[in-house]
A = this chain, B = another copy of it.
Amino acid sequence: MATKKGPKYDQIIDAAVTIIAQNGYHQAQVSKIAKEAGVADGTIYLYFKNKEDILISLFEEKMGTFVDHIRSKLMEANTIEEQLQFLVEMHLKQLAADKNLAVVTQLELRQSNYKLRQRINEVLKEYLSVMESIIEKGKASNVFSQDVNDKLARQMIFGTLDEVTTNWVMKDCKYDLESLSKPVFDMLLQGFKLREDVS
């Protein structure tokens, strides 16, 4: 069984990111990943239960770091507005910083089967709860409108960030993604803010 966390564990995950980004999900055979990682095919199975497990682990590892970075940045925020701002900034910044990873998470991993995608969604839940807690606090502190539906608001944040990033990846990462955080943040904030004059 998978004796996780040798030095090769990380080698294999990084090789998977590289190979999937280069060849696409359906052309990322285990043997290619093994070769890129510099190990034998069989060795993969000492660290991962099966191919799906590589991809899930890849997502868990990378997403774990991703969320940790966001969370620690949020600690620095003094206001709800800043929390939302930092989240948007960090989301785009981190994906802009690792284009291979962006290609893999935004395009390639979505070609995976239903089962894998449900596991991915579970991993995402932690991130989504970070978003929801910002919404809740925003409403509690009367910065956001009470009319805002927590779950829908979270879906708007995630859906927008995801769509913005996917478009950037599909345009071959040719423009600056990070600089979009300010206008994206502005629109989201306006969408949630307390409205003086809602009919």
Hey, which chain B residues are within 8 Å of A159, CB to CB?
A: 156, 159-164
A188 within 8 A of B: yes
State A153–B183 Cα separation when bound (angstroms). 9
A30 within 8 A of B: no
Bin chain A's interface residue count. 35 or more
Is A107 within 8 A of B111, CB to CB?
no
Interface segment among A43-51, A61-69, A70-78, A191-199: the answer is A191-199
Query: Chain B's nearest CB lies how many Å from the CB of A99?
Result: 16
Is B156 within 8 A of A187, CB to CB?
yes
Interface segment among A8-16, A32-40, A52-60, A144-152: the answer is A144-152
Is A183 within 8 A of B152, CB to CB?
yes
Known: A111-B113, A147-B186. A156 touches B152 (CB 8 A): no
A28 within 8 A of B: no
State A190–B188 Cα separation when bound (angstroms). 9
Is A155 within 8 A of B164, CB to CB?
yes
Hey, which chain B residues are within 8 Å of A190, CB to CB?
A: 145, 190-193, 195
State A166–B29 Cα separation when bound (angstroms). 29
Is A152 within 8 A of B170, CB to CB?
no
Which of B114, B149, B187, B195 has a CB less than 8 Å from the CB of A152?
A: B187
Mark A residues whose CB is within 8 Å of B: 24, 26, 107-108, 110-114, 117-118, 121, 145, 147-149, 151-153, 155-156, 158-164, 167, 170, 180, 183-184, 186-188, 190-193, 195-196, 198
Known: A111-B113, A187-B192. A156 touches B156 (CB 8 A): yes
Is A110 within 8 A of B111, CB to CB?
yes
Is A148 within 8 A of B187, CB to CB?
yes
Is A113 within 8 A of B160, CB to CB?
no
Hey, which chain B residues are within 8 Å of A110, CB to CB?
A: 110-111
Which of B111, B147, B170, B187 has a CB less than 8 Å from the CB of A183?
A: B147
